[in-house]
Amino acid sequence: MSSSKNIDDELLATRLKALSNPSRLQIFRQLALCCETGASCGTDEQAMRRCVGELGRDLGLAPSTVSHHIKELRQAGLIRVERRGQNIHCWIDPDVVRSLADFFEQSWVACSGSDEAAA
């Protein structure tokens, strides 16, 4: 097995592990809301940004808990974070979401045994 394949597998495992925590998954889903079917945020980072404090209020999580989960999601490469004065803004990296979607699509095609499953 090539070393680049191992790196890809390690990165994928890190990202999936970060999303395996229910609170982190909730945060990730909140950040992804603008990217649901019918929404048009595209890759406009300003439209995708959320303040960490807002996320905590929306999900009923303590600020320290949200900070911990944001740190884990950022370290896994799932989100980007930027401090603006006293606020911390975060957003999903669209390229990462595409790579996760590609992984599941390729897995589905491989599992089904045909390219028609991807259509």
Domain residue ranges of the chain, discontinuous segments joined by +: 3-93
Rounded to whole angstroms, the Cα distance separating 68 from 74 reads 10
Place of tokens 């009923």: 60
pLDDT at residue 117, as a whole number? 47
pLDDT value at position 58?
85
* Residue 52, pLDDT score: 82
Give the C-alpha separation, 23 to 71, whole Å: 13
CA 32 to CA 2: how far, in whole Å?
Answer: 33
**Helix 22-32 vs helix 63-75: angle between axes, to the nearest 10 degrees?**
80
Long-range contacts of 95-99 (CB under 8 A, 24+ apart): 96/15, 97/32, 97/35
Look up tokens 């592990």; give the residue: 17
pTM listed for this prediction: 0.74
Does domain 3-93 bear CATH number 1.10.10.10? yes
pLDDT tens for the 119 residues of the chain, in order: 444 565 588 999 999 999 999 999 999 988 887 654 444 444 555 556 888 888 888 889 998 899 999 999 999 999 999 988 888 889 988 888 888 888 888 887 777 775 554 45
